[in-house]
């Protein structure tokens, strides 16, 4: 027989107060213990006219009080439900463009240069670091060219980084900045002790990183 589980939306409509953030209770309930399918977390609104709420302790970027376009500040959602400890950031010149190949690219636009994806950010050109072929490339370079970042070999030998991401190969992991002691061979899901879901139905398996100081 097919088992059909009801799909519920505990936070829609929002059952919490206007200054609270609704989060789904994914931990479940203990047997014979009544509990709600959601939590109401104290938070802060991003402004008087905004309905968006962030939880207490969160750092958030909001437009600067000076009112200039491209100016922002970083604030903390405080215990009183207000944004506090704000620090002004350097303003971004949204009118500053980039000149690429004699063409003007506006701030925020993305485009390709050869085989790399680039974007213009306040006059600064930011591009991926993929190695590309050009009309001056030799036959040997064309033969060895893979099109992958850092021209890594086109092979799939996955490694798991300390950041929890699986990379297709050790070469690509190094290409994004990881050192050899920051990844190990095998996909991350194959090393996840929670992958087999060893906990009872009303419990949730969580991963933790331990150090000698915490033991």
Question: Per-residue pLDDT for 1 more than 60?
Answer: no
Instruction: Report the SS3 class of residue 105.
Output: strand
Question: Domains (ranges, CATH) in the chain?
Answer: 20-89 (no CATH), 98-127 (no CATH), 146-214 (3.30.60.30)
Long-range contacts at 191-199 (CB < 8 A, ≥ 24 apart): 191/160
Of the pLDDT bands very low, low, confident and very high (cuts 50, 70, 90), residue 211 is: very low
Nearest Cα residue to 157 out of 123, 184, 193:
184
* DSSP label of 101: T
pLDDT digits (tens, 9 = 90+) for 18-69: 888 898 888 777 777 778 888 899 999 887 777 788 989 889 888 887 767 8
pLDDT digits (tens, 9 = 90+) for 159-200: 999 888 899 899 889 988 899 999 999 988 877 767 666 777
Nearest Cα residue to 80 out of 40, 45, 39, 38:
45
- Output the six-digit token pair for 148: 């992958």
DSSP class per residue in 61-74: EEE-TT--TT-EEE
Top-confidence residue, 99 or 200? 99
Task: Quote the mean pLDDT of the chain.
Answer: 81
């Amino acid at each position: 027989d097919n088992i059909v589980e009801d799909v519920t939306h505990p936070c829609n409509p929002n059952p919490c107060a206007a200054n609270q953030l609704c989060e789904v209770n994914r931990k479940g309930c203990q047997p014979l213990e009544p509990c709600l399918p959601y939590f109401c977390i104290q938070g802060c609104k991003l402004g008087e006219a905004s309905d968006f709420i962030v939880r207490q302790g969160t750092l958030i970027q909001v437009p600067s009080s000076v009112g200039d376009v491209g100016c922002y500040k970083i604030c903390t959602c405080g215990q009183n439900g207000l944004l506090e400890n704000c620090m002004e950031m350097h303003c971004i010149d949204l009118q500053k463009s980039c000149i690429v190949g004699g063409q003007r690219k506006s701030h925020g636009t993305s485009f390709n240069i050869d085989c790399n994806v680039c974007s213009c950010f306040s006059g600064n050109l930011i591009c991926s670091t993929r190695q590309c072929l050009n009309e001056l490339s030799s036959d040997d370079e064309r033969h060895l060219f893979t099109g992958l970042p850092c021209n890594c070999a086109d092979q799939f030998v996955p490694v798991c980084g300390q950041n929890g991401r699986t990379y297709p190969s050790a070469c690509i992991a190094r290409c994004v900045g990881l050192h050899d002691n920051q990844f190990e061979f095998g996909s991350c899901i194959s090393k996840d002790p929670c992958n087999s879901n060893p906990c009872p139905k009303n419990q949730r398996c969580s991963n933790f990183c331990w150090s000698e100081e915490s033991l």
